[in-house]
Amino acid sequence: MSLSRRHFVQRGIAISVGFAGLRGLLASGTSMAAVLRACDAAGYGPLVADPLGVLDLPANFKYTVISAAGETMDDGLIVPAKHDGMATFPAPDGLTYLVRNHELDSDKATSGAFGANHELLPRINRASLFDAGRGDVPALGGTTTLVFDTRTQTLKTHYLSLAGTVNNCAGGPTPWGTWLSCEETMALPDARYAKAHGYVFEVTPSQTPGLSEPKPIVGMGRFQHEAVAIDPASGCVFLTEDLADGLIYRFIPKVPGSMHAGGRLQALMIRGRRTVDTRNWEGDSIAVGQKLPVEWIDVDDIESPNNDLRLRSAERGAAVFGRGEGMWKAADGIYFACTSGGRARMGQIWRYVPSLHEGTRGESSKPATLELFIEPNDGSVVANADNITASPWGDLMVCEDAATEGDNFLLGVTRDRQVYKFAKNAVSDSEFAGATFSPDGSTLFVNVQGEGKTFAITGPWRRA
């Protein structure tokens, strides 16, 4: 019996990205038995079909749906739809905070927290909305906060925690225990919105339901924000931009840990090379494993209404990236995904290793490095990497948004660059989003965005 390449990979086959996908492995003379052994070593074995047709996982793993769009929360509001980026934080009494984005605008009333006719708006103080909109229609994006007990795998509390924002896609956790939520939009005041959007907001989790102050972090610029990650040693904040010709940015705060005190916004440049196109669309100009020294250039007019920060900075030498999306601080660097990078436009994952003198004059003598970590150029291996997180044992967990491939998987990537399938969305063609582990390492949370569901996954995880 012959197996298609996609079906072969769907069964949990891990493929070393040092080869050109499965064909490269077989052409090299590697036996099928050896391939299977390598797969088992990299991942958790083949996926087992879910009898409910929801989420396929390896043997001995199980999932629970802990929150779904349309449910009533503890503040009397409704769980919004379009679940996206998330992070967890330790809460008192051994509990876990989970802060979750919702990628909504003002046109999806039936998907928002206030009901189909905004009948629940009186439950909140309208001053707690960043943008109350025009008339009675507020911006519907924002965040919800969940309080979860990993010991009993039960949800204790959930509530709306940021309101009146637009298209909250990804973001990132801070070392001091808050969530930075990013607006993926450049919306200006118009018939719908009373304010400009395209900012980053800080959300403080709590066991008591309530809305965080919707104060934009202006110093981080106004652009098509996607995700952030913070280098705790320097306090520098790194940011992705979800555009086909986007940049990677760095925010150097005047006061580390105080985002609203201002700072400098900069764009990444490959040292000694102007406007490097990292996308590899026209060939392998940057090789996997190649380490490139980095420098940074200041970005001016950071609130420009013209959506041109990236264009002006690229003219001055900033490197161009193909749809920067998920970003996460791991033990050995800051990883980020570029959804449309690579010759096949199936995605890249990069690793940035900060300088020992990050954000200071000393970095000129000991610069940070940027490395193309993987670029399979094979949709059966990685199809449009989106949100990412780091596991407690060092693997990356990568959410696919593979609109052109049909199936979406949650992938693992090992330290030696092997890719394996960990979960499959068996219920729809919607993307995975927001993968993140609980502080105790027992539970992986992830969303299926189109279904508006958050899953808690447990099982025999590897340990570091």
pLDDT at 258: 93
Phi, psi of 193 (to 5 degrees): -110, 145
Task: Please answer whether residues 399 and 385 qualify as being in contact, where contact means their C-beta atoms are separated by less than 8 angstroms.
Answer: yes
How many other CB atoms are there within 10 angstroms of residue 351's CB atom? 19
The chain-wide mean pLDDT, for the chain, equals 90
For residue range 440-464, list pLDDT tens digits in order: 999 999 999 999 999 999 999 987 6
Residue 346 reports pLDDT greater than 90? yes
Residue that has been written with the tokens 């808690």 in this structure: 456
3-state class of 79 per DSSP? coil
Task: Please answer whether residues 306 and 312 qualify as being in contact, where contact means their C-beta atoms are separated by less than 8 angstroms.
Answer: no
Residue 135 pLDDT class (50, 70, 90 cuts): confident
Q: What is the mean pLDDT of residues 97-109?
A: 90
Residue 134 pLDDT class (50, 70, 90 cuts): confident
Strands (E), 19-77: 47-48, 55-58, 62-68
Q: Is 442 exposed, middle or buried (0-12, 13-18, 19+ CB in 10 A)?
A: middle
For residue range 220-275, list pLDDT tens digits in order: 999 999 999 999 999 999 999 999 999 999 999 999 999 999 999 999 999 999 99
Question: What strand order describes the sheet that includes 96-102?
Answer: 83-90, 96-102, 141-149, 154-165
Strands (E), 38-178: 47-48, 55-58, 62-68, 83-90, 96-102, 141-149, 154-165, 168-173
Residue 265 token pair: 């916004």
Residue 41 reports pLDDT greater than 80? no
Q: What is the mean pLDDT of residues 331-351?
A: 97
Q: What is the mean pLDDT of residues 303-322?
A: 95
Q: What is the mean pLDDT of residues 209-216?
A: 97
